[in-house]
Structure 1
Amino acid sequence: MKNYFFYISILFLFLFSSCVSKKKFVYLQGSQDFSNVSTNYDPIIQNDDLLSIVVTTQEVEAAAPFNLPSYLVDNEGKIDFPVIGNIQVSGYSIKELKSMLKQKLATHLIDPVINIKILNFKVTVLGDVAGPGIKSFDNHRVTLFDAIGASGDLTIFAKRNNVLIVRDIQGLKTFNRIDITKADFVNSPFYYLDQNDLVYVEQRKSKINSAALPTISLYASLFGLLLTSTILLTR
């Protein structure tokens, strides 16, 4: 009978020690009142961005020269815009560039309407995700969860509370640690990604040990077998 209690104690201790709190896996925990979250994300234009700039006005023919297929931001942060010439655009937000172009075009067009889009928006996702690589998007309102979803989600071994985002801000690399298990992450300046961001997901140190553990169903089978064997041996 002593052996019976000994084996049962060891099994429960093993099961308890191998369990991992679900808090390490669940996204956006805590208060989820997002009523005050701003969705007015406005990306900053960078060198090598490929821009779509569409100009419309009542005078269709007058606007036609400005509507090229795309504009490439050169390594000095400029684009060559018809009639106006070279314009510094790197460092401007989409909204700021719209305002600037509208002012410059006011002498050429009547009430121009300008729409700007980044055509080559991409981020790189590496580390403990199902499908790492470069992820391209057809819009510039890309959240970290969009990138994670495009990568097939994080693996069960990923550190969800320590996701690294490397961001270039006007030539300066910044390294930012993000906890996506917290609901207030949506208020972070890194909830929306900038083009060319690098997202790196580190794996937990317990990955190797966790990978070697049986599943819960196997635990149950082993428990039943051990219990039966112990009862037979102690009769």
Structure 2
Amino acid sequence: MNKTSIYIFLLLSVFFTSCVPTKDLIYLQNKDKDNNEAVIPSNQKPYRLQTNDILTITIKAIDPKMVEIFSNTGGQAAQISDQGSYYTGYSVDDHGNIRLPILGEINVLGFTVEEVRIKIEKQLHEQYFKNEAGIFVTVKLSGFRYTINGEVGSTGTKVIYQDKVNIMEAIANAGDITVTGDRKDVKVIRRYPQGSETFSIDLTNGKAVNSPCFYLQPNDYIYVKPLKQKTWGTGKTGIESLS
């Protein structure tokens, strides 16, 4: 084999091995083509509150003036910014408590937002109001917060204003994974009161929706590591690698 043949062989090797294959870029592929069964997401457990969470609590009644003193929004829902919710919301302290006007400290650590709503309504009825007052309490997290880092369009802490968020929505909200990001091994670090747990999810596989981390929980941390092609310093496509 002469030198020209060796150079051509090496050139073709670089061309075909350094570019990112299309199959590594497509999300949720049906890799088991013989299986057309519907896939049902399994992780939709309600989130249980942790320290540093911020709650938005609204208390209403037939007569709004009756409940103004119990709410920092005057008994009415307020349109506030993400920064505003930090100042007007109710933050869960290190002991797992929130502090409401008149009602005082209420422990919410490990409770769902629905359980906190029931707890506040019960206390209001037992101590201050009769059923005829028409007390209506709403408890929500002040936005769904998560942090994303690595090979995505926009890193950092993000907020989505909806109750449930899956990892595909979170990544899309961060500008999608770059071409040099590893979609087959996305890490999700989830914090619990007793510690943290790390999950790995292959987003190119359609069965990813069955993963316990497909549906995120507030305060999840997502990391997308780079592909080897980026480490090698080659191009994303065969043409770039050839250049």
- Band the TM-score falls in, shorter-chain normalisation: 0.7 to 0.9
Paired residue for 2:187? 164
**TM-score (structure 2 length as normaliser):** 0.74
SS at match of 1:166: strand
Compute the displacement of 1:213 (Å): 6.5
Q: How many equivalent residue pairs?
A: 218
Deviation per CA, 1:119-178: give whole Å up to 9, x if none.
254221111112211212333422222221222111111111111111111141111112
Answer yes or no: is the 8 Å Cα contact 1:42–1:95 preserved in 2: no
Bigger mean CA deviation after superposition, 18-27 or 130-139: 18-27
Contact 1:102-1:114 at 8 Å conserved across structures: yes
Mapped to 2, the partners of 1:106 and 1:207 lie a distance apart of 61
Instruction: Pick from 203, 206, 214 the counterpart of residue 180 of structure 1.
Output: 203
Q: For the structure 1 residues 36 and 54, does the alpha-carbon distance in structure 2 shift closer, same or farther, using more than 3 Å as the test?
A: same
- TM-score normalized by the length of structure 1: 0.76
CA-CA distance at 1:115 after TM superposition: 1.3
Q: Find the counterpart in structure 2 of residue 28 from structure 1.
A: 28
Q: Tell me how far apart the structure 2 counterparts of residues 164 and 80 of structure 1 sit (CA, whole Å).
A: 35
Identify if the C-alpha distance between structure 1 residues 49 and 32 changes in structure 2 by more than 3 Å, giving closer, same or farther.
Answer: farther
Q: Is the 8 A contact 1:41 1:141 kept in 2?
A: no
Q: Which amino acid aligns with 1:25?
A: L
Please state how far the C-alpha of 1:27 moved relative to its aligned partner.
1.0
Structure of greater relative contact order (alpha carbons < 8 Å, 6+ residues apart): 2
Q: CA deviation at 1:78?
A: 0.2
Contact 2:19 2:235 survives alignment (8 Å): no
Q: Structure 1 CA distance, aligned partners of 2:236 and 2:143?
A: 43
Match of 1:85, as an amino acid?
G
Which residue, out of 165, 168, 174, partners 1:142?
165
Q: Structure 1: how far apart are the matches of 2:37 and 2:67?
A: 45
Say if 2:73 is the partner of 1:50. Answer: no
Deviation of 1:13 after TM superposition, in Å, equals 5.7
Partners of 2:161 and 2:198 in 1: how far apart? 26
How far apart, in 2, do the equivalents of 1:39 and 1:47 lie?
A: 22
Q: Secondary structure of the residue that 2:190 maps to in structure 1?
A: strand
Tell me the residue number matched to 1:230.
none
Of residues 134-143 and 38-47 in structure 1, the stretch that sits farther from structure 2 once superposed is: 38-47
Matched, 1:202 2:206: no
Provide Cα deviations, 1:201-230, integer angstroms capped at 9, x if missing partner: 1112232446347644997xx9xxxxxxxx
Structure 1 stretch displaced more, 25-34 or 83-92: 25-34
Match of 1:124 among 137, 147, 163: 147
> Residues 42, 202 of structure 1: CA spacing in aligned structure 2 closer, same or farther, 3 A cutoff?
same
3-state SS of 1:160 partner:
coil
Separation of aligned partners in 2, 1:103 and 1:62: 16
Structure 1, gaps ≥5 residues long: 223-235
